[in-house]
Amino acid sequence: MAVSALPEAAHLLRSDVAVVTAISEAHMESLHSVEETARAKAQIFLGLNEGGTAVLNRDALHADILLEAAIIHAAHTITYGRHEDADVRLLDYDHETGLTKISIFGTLIEYRLGPSGEHNALNSLAAICAIHALKEDVSRFTDFFRHLELVRGRGTTEQVLLGRKPITLVDQSYNANPLSMKAALADFGSRFKDSRRVLVLGDMLELGPTEASLHADLLEPVLKTDPEAVYLFGPMMTHLWARLPEAVRGAHVSSIGQLRAVLVTDIQEGDAVLIKSSRATGFEKFVASLVKESSSAPSESWRVTISGTAVHGVGFRQWLKKRSLSHGIDGWVRNRTDGKIEALLSGHKTDLDHLYTHLRSGPSKAEVSQVLMRRVSIKARPGFRIRQDRVISSTLNRPSRRRP
């Protein structure tokens, strides 16, 4: 529910389960303080049905306010988070594989999460709490988490052309506040350690009287991503610009036209670029224009065999899946009984060429000796699958194109 609609919407909908996922320095122009924001969001519990369950993030700022409201208005309360007292507790999250380990009232389970980022792992705990509150068997649902897809503007990864240069664009243009900005930066830094990382950050809006310091305080999470360059947009980002080291200063601009011009000049082929701001800055339209311009790029499919040491392990297939998705490539991968890997990859030619570079190196725990690719007419279905079936031989044993 929108916090501005509370408590009326809560009374209208009369929910069986109500969830509060986070409290942060958002809505500050109308709510004036984080404590007041917590009290406003706690009103979602006012509309619970008799016997209803309140679910809340135990790590949230002013979680005590949420707990107090839950105790008064809910028949049951379930907490989640990293907090040692949480009923559903996040024990470990692996950024590379998405493996998530949790404790549900003392019972240990694990599952893989499709969307990356610890913030999304915590969101999955909120869903698990709701499933538990509805007295369903949680284990029946955890496999669905690996198939979740992000909504555009909320962290989707796009392969686009910027000034005819192929780049990986992480689209966080829908919204921004200090908490979501820090989460996006942490996830971006973890996911793209092997790439040149570029940050394009716009103003965070509706933060009230402390907006200047909240923008300036982004310095530490920004630098933790080890960026090659930082590009800032809007008057409030002036406060972060003033604190940025000269070595990572890209540009501070006041219009989308200026931003596009400087990025076209500065960005290098293969860069990973994070774009994040509040929606009203216009970044969403900027991203949409890049995606539209890039959609006319040529698309093709390749059948691939990969030979080498330790390429048969599940880690290699997970690595290839993650790499393919980060490049916007659809397909599948499976083991062969001869110790090789076979894959079908479909995407823009520039993206496939980019992925080929990574395939030649492979992950750190494997040693790739040969990559054979042959163009085919079949197109992979959307997404990327790790197939469990194995084949003795492959059509790739026929004469193939060996790339230099």
Residue 404 belongs to a domain: no
pLDDT computed for residue 358 by the predictor: 82
Of 147, 167, 196, which residue sits at a domain end? 147
- CA 84-88-93 angle, to 5 degrees, is 80
Tens of pLDDT, residues 234-287: 999 999 999 999 999 999 999 999 999 999 999 998 899 999 999 999 999 999
User: Domain check: are 110 and 7 in the same one?
Assistant: yes
User: Is the CB of residue 173 less than 8 Å from the CB of residue 287?
Assistant: yes
57 has catalytic annotation: no
User: Domain check: are 201 and 289 in the same one?
Assistant: yes
pLDDT computed for residue 292 by the predictor: 80
Residue 403 belongs to a domain: no
Question: Which range, 58-62, 112-116, 288-292, 347-351, is most confident?
Answer: 58-62
pLDDT computed for residue 275 by the predictor: 97
Of 294, 317, 348, which residue sits at a domain end? 294
Tens of pLDDT, residues 382-402: 788 999 876 655 444 443 444
pLDDT at 229 over 70: yes
What would you report as the CA-atom Rg of the chain, rounded to the nearest whole angstrom?
23
Confidence of residue 67 (pLDDT cuts 50, 70, 90): very high
pLDDT at 350 over 90: no
Residue 114 belongs to a domain: yes
317 has catalytic annotation: yes
Q: Which entry of 335, 360, 390, 403 is annotated as an active-site residue? A: 335
- How far apart are the C-alpha atoms of 133 and 295, rounded to whole Å? 44
pLDDT at 43 over 90: yes
User: Domain check: are 314 and 394 in the same one?
Assistant: yes
Confidence of residue 4 (pLDDT cuts 50, 70, 90): confident
User: Domain check: are 176 and 250 in the same one?
Assistant: yes
Residue 264 belongs to a domain: yes
Tens of pLDDT, residues 149-197: 888 888 888 878 887 788 889 999 998 999 999 999 999 999 898 889 9
State which residues form the domain around 311: 299-398
Of 103, 120, 147, which residue sits at a domain end? 147
User: Domain check: are 190 and 143 in the same one?
Assistant: no
Residue 306 belongs to a domain: yes
Residue 7 belongs to a domain: yes
Q: Which entry of 89, 317, 323, 336 is annotated as an active-site residue? A: 317
User: Domain check: are 253 and 385 in the same one?
Assistant: no
CATH of the domain at 306: 3.30.70.100
DSSP 170-210: EEE-S---HHHHHHHHHHHHHHTTTS-EEEEEEPPPS-GGG
On average, the pLDDT of the chain sits at: 89
User: Domain check: are 284 and 306 in the same one?
Assistant: no
pLDDT at 371 over 70: yes
User: Domain check: are 188 and 284 in the same one?
Assistant: yes
CB burial of 112-151 (b: ≥16 within 10 Å; e: otherwise) equals ebbbbbbbbbbbbbbbbbbbbbeeeebeeebeebeeeebe
Which helix (H) or strand (E) is 166 found in, with range? strand 165-172
Tens of pLDDT, residues 204-213: 998 888 899 9
- How far apart are the C-alpha atoms of 354 and 323, rounded to whole Å? 10
Strand partners, 35: none
pLDDT computed for residue 400 by the predictor: 44
User: Is the CB of residue 137 less than 8 Å from the CB of residue 83?
Assistant: no
pLDDT computed for residue 296 by the predictor: 62
Residue 274 belongs to a domain: yes
pLDDT at 361 over 90: no
Average pLDDT score over residue span 355-359: 84
User: Domain check: are 278 and 182 in the same one?
Assistant: yes
pLDDT computed for residue 395 by the predictor: 45
User: Domain check: are 265 and 388 in the same one?
Assistant: no
Residue 100 belongs to a domain: yes
- How far apart are the C-alpha atoms of 89 and 105, rounded to whole Å? 8
Q: Is 69 helix (H, G, I), strand (E, B) or coil?
A: helix
CATH of the domain at 175: 3.90.190.20
What tokens were used for 33?
A: 């303080």
Average pLDDT score over residue span 68-75: 96
User: Domain check: are 271 and 356 in the same one?
Assistant: no
Number of separate domains in the chain: 3
Strand partners, 276: 172, 201
CB burial of 234-257 (b: ≥16 within 10 Å; e: otherwise) equals bebbebbbeebeeebebbbbeebe
- Among residues of the chain, what percentage have pLDDT more than 90? 57
CATH of the domain at 102: 3.40.1190.10
User: Domain check: are 219 and 352 in the same one?
Assistant: no
Confidence of residue 24 (pLDDT cuts 50, 70, 90): confident
Neighbours of 298 (CB within 10 A): 7
- How far apart are the C-alpha atoms of 37 and 23, rounded to whole Å? 7
